[in-house]
Amino acid sequence: MEESFKPNSLTINKLLTDSDALYQIPIYQRPYKWSDDEIDKLWDDILESFYNQEPNYFLGSIITAASGNGTKYLDVVDGQQRLTTLIILMATIRDLYPNINRKQCEEDPFAVGIEQIKNAIMVSDKFGRLRLATHSNHSTDFDKYIIKGNILEHRKPYKKDLRKDEAPEYKFINTSVEFRHRLEELGESQAGELLNYIFNQIKIIRIDCSNVGFAIKLFQVLNARGLDLTNSDLIKSFLIGKLHMKYDSEVVQSKENQFLQDWIKCEDIALDVEESMNELFVMYEYFLLAANPKKSLYDELERQFENEDPLDVISDFKAFILEYQQHVFNSKNKLDYSFFYLRWSIYWKTVLTTALHTGYPDIDELKQTVRRFFYLFWIAGFTLTRIKQTTFNLIKWLKEGKLINEIKYELEKNLKENKVQDRIESALTGNIYHEQWCKPLLILIEYNQIDNPEYISLKDRNIHVEHILPQNFHEVYGWKHVIEDDRDGVEWVNSLGNLTLISGKKNIQASNDAFENKIGIYQGKGKHGTSDDKITSFRITQNIFDAFNQKKIEKWDIDSIAARRSKLLGDIEEILQVDLFLIR
């Protein structure tokens, strides 16, 4: 197959209105992603060149290739964000100023009127100049909101919606709203002059390639020189390019469709598990290498995939992340919940997913073992450097099918070599309130006391770590007995025994009060998460009320804190399988 390309310097007029100006965003491309920052930069650059009356403003390049499906549409291999944005700008002008340049068009042959605008958006009111094949929903939304919609009815989307990368309809709407505001500031007359400038004096280089495979190779070369693309974009284009090189022309289209169906499924999984495709590919890279990468993500995976069938690659990647989605992220198991409070998430996620993907037989015991390892190193105060190589060893052992007792032995040896036991005892003895692991550890204790708990999110700002003995107890009524105690209560305020979990406004109500008044709040009234007046205390907090109600404690003092601390250390011993006898 002959490989060639032809660069064409085109005005925006020719880019959008010539007979060959029909464009298709192929299915393997990422969705439209431009945000306010990119819109601002494009608008400011165009406006500056307009005010300075620069004779030619270069907008960049796009790479195209014949779509190969019998249509006259050109596949846009690179430049889809700019091209989509230009079409949205044209649609915004169409709806905002339907009479733009009406008088000028009667006198100036280079003036651009509403008919040219409409022609830049659609051909003969039937075929869109730009067609989105990235996803059927994307095409429908673009048609609904931009091509045939009324942009004047659009409202600025919420920030949470704009963060949804795989739901570009919000970004379509946002771009149209941003352009509408800027065009309204200019007014119709000046917007008409700007339109003439855009159509006649702004240029773009369209590089037409002989086939998609060659276009993708050219795209990769240009990216290596600085284009803003993600690693997952490059991986996708690399694999698509290999498909075109591997299969004959009569079957390549069906193979590409098969590949892209799997890719879209992977993007759906990424959306569900709240991870980027890049992060999921990093997990897969760690799984494949079982070692610390020496090159960039793209370079490592290009080497790994060089001799593989792209269909096998995407199928295995999909199966890999599907295991994580179904058996870790969407698990309703309190053991799985406990992982999501840990640091170094990319590492434990890869270890667990590797075990699932390889069909490791002792998966529950393996999860317990991995959780113990990560939590002990975290509480002991170690950094990523200390656990990184062991993580890669774990991945290697799982792929080799190493027995669970052998893995336990290796991890225990690691714990002893790093004197983790001594560091754990020291960490849990004194002030833990300001440690990042304080709230997660209390949540693990909470889970340990309930059979089927709901997931407790650290992102929930209604969940607080409560001091039973207030931090400023010297200034609060009801704590005279602690002040008069020979022992210094300050040393105990931030200790494990004086901390508990509490929800919502109850933390504010309870924080600076006498113990007798706190007790009623600790009792709780109903199910957490319904409404604030029915927020229950957690089980570890209700235990304090129960002990008071059963007259096991009559007041909260240093002895009470010490006793509760001993009890909670016993829970930690059970959860993390560590001996804390010396500090209990």
Please indicate, yes or no, if residue 335 is contained in any of the structural domains. no
| 203 assigned to some structural domain | yes
Q: Let me know whether 213 and 285 are in one domain.
A: no
Average pLDDT by stretches of 10, the chain with 584 residues: 79 91 84 91 93 88 80 86 94 96 91 94 86 79 91 91 82 95 95 95 91 76 57 84 82 86 92 93 97 90 94 97 97 95 95 98 96 96 92 97 97 95 92 94 95 90 89 84 70 92 66 80 56 63 89 88 93 93 71
**CA-to-CA distance for 360 and 351, rounded, in angstroms?**
11
Q: Do 281 and 168 reside in the same domain of the chain? A: no
Instruction: Say yes or no: 54 and 189 in one domain.
Output: yes
- The pLDDT mean for the chain works out to 88
Give the chain's domain count. 3
Do 260 and 208 lie in a common domain? no
How far is the C-alpha of 433 from the C-alpha of 90, rounded, in Å? 57
The reply to whether 359 falls in a domain is no
Question: How far apart (Å, rounded) are the C-alpha atoms in residues 486 and 496?
Answer: 21
- Any domain includes 459: yes
Give the domain-ending residue among 285, 307, 330: 330
Do 272 and 135 share a structural domain? no
The answer to whether position 268 is within a domain reads: yes
Strand partners, 465: 501
Tokens of 35: 């945000």
- Judge if 34 and 117 occupy the same domain: yes
Backbone angles phi, psi at 436, to 5 degrees: -65, -25
Q: What pTM, to 2 d.p., does this model score? A: 0.71
How high is the pLDDT of residue 226? 43
Instruction: Round to whole Å and give the CA distance between 166 and 164.
Output: 6
Verify that 194 and 246 share a domain, yes or no. no
Q: Where are the beta strands (DSSP E) in 336-476?
A: 463-467
For residues 272 and 527, give the distance between their C-alpha atoms in angstroms, rounded to a whole number.
27
Same domain, 65 and 196: yes
Task: Kindly write down the DSSP assignment for every residue of 65-110, as one continuous string.
Answer: EE-SSSSSPEEEEE-HHHHHHHHHHHHHHHHH-TTTTHHHHHH-TT
Domain endpoint, select from 297, 330, 363 = 330
Residues 241 and 102 in one domain: no
Q: Is residue 185 part of a domain?
A: yes
Give the Cα separation of 539 and 164 in Å (integer).
36
pLDDT at 511: 67
The H or E element spanning position 10 is strand 5-11
Q: How many CA atoms lie within 13 A of 326 on its CB side?
A: 8
Alpha helices in 453-524 (DSSP H): 480-484, 490-493, 506-511, 515-523
pLDDT at 527: 40
Of 508, 555, 496, 516, give the one whose Cα is nearest residue 535. 508
- Contact of 320 with 265, CB cutoff 8 Å: no
Picking from 466, 377, 425, the residue whose alpha carbon sits closest to that of residue 580 is 425
- 184 and 263 part of one domain: no
Provide the residue range defining the domain that includes 522.
438-583
In a domain, 416, yes or no: no
* Residue 544 maps to a domain: yes
The DSSP 8-state label assigned to residue 362 in this structure reads -
